[in-house]
Chains A and B, each alone.
Chain A
Amino acid sequence: QVQLVESGGGVVQPGTSLRLSCAASGFTFRTYGMHWVRQFPGKGLEWVAFIWSDGQNKYYGDSVKGRFTISRDNSKSILYLQMNSLRAEDTAVYYCGGDPPRSGYAFAVWGQGTMVTVSS
């Protein structure tokens, strides 16, 4: 079935790095725009980053610009989020989302989320 599975979350200290992965199955990954979205504990959703289906263009939210990098490997159907210089305020559940063609940036597929905790 259509599925996204995130991994790589954990507890890290401020200033360190972490790489999240999102493995896709059940759909044509290479045709989907892919996003990372996060949710702070007990709060709403915040969009983090977006990468085109072919990986040629990338966009970032202001709060992560310059620290996070989104990438993808269409041969393996995997999406990544490299997070550097992590801060306490990056603590959140991170979801990957799949955006099908002509859907108006709609996240039709979501992963189950992976928790990132930044704490000393």
Chain B
Amino acid sequence: QSVLTQPPSASGTPGQRVTISCSGSISNIGRETVNWYHQLPGTAPKLLVYNTNQRPSGVPDRFSGSKSGTSASLAISGLQSEDEADYYCAAWDDSLQAVLFGGGTKLTVL
């Protein structure tokens, strides 16, 4: 099954704002909401953003999601060393009747 397309890596310095992109198609990002997760090594993923731009309780407002057409973005402002992790986007595909994940973006805090 096809995946959503993310850059394999991203980086920034503490305090900076970084953006991670996620590209899909009309049948997933174009018509459905997007969710974002991050994952620290050896641990389960954690939900950061759901329904494209909603944050679960406890997730700092430094994390924000958006989408335009068939692309979505996760922005992280005020970058901190603990933000260093793998980030994944995901969305339901209403043609495939499946959840699609992006390939993941490894964020490095320099």
Contacts and interface: CB of A to CB of B under 8 A. Distances in A.
Contacts of B52: 104
Interface string A38-72: 00000011110010000000011111000000000
A107 B39 CA distance: 13
A71 B37 CA distance: 25
Contact of B45 (A50, A63, A95, A104): A95
Interface string B78-110: 000000001010111000011111111000000
Given A104-B50, A108-B50, A47 B32 contact: no
A32 interface: no
Contacts of B37: 45, 107
A12 B99 CA distance: 27
A35 interface: yes
A45 B101 contact: yes
Contacts, number: 72
A45 B45 contact: yes
Interface size class of B (residues with CB under 8 A): 20 to 34
Contact of A44 (B32, B33, B50, B104): B104
Interface in B29-67: 32-35, 37, 44-47, 50-52, 56
Interface of B: 1, 3, 32-35, 37, 44-47, 50-52, 56, 86, 88, 90-92, 97-104
Given A59-B97, A107-B37, 16 more contacts: A35-B99, A37-B99, A44-B104, A45-B88, A45-B90, A47-B100, A60-B98, A62-B1, A104-B92, A105-B33, A105-B99, A106-B47, A106-B50, A108-B50, A108-B56, A110-B44
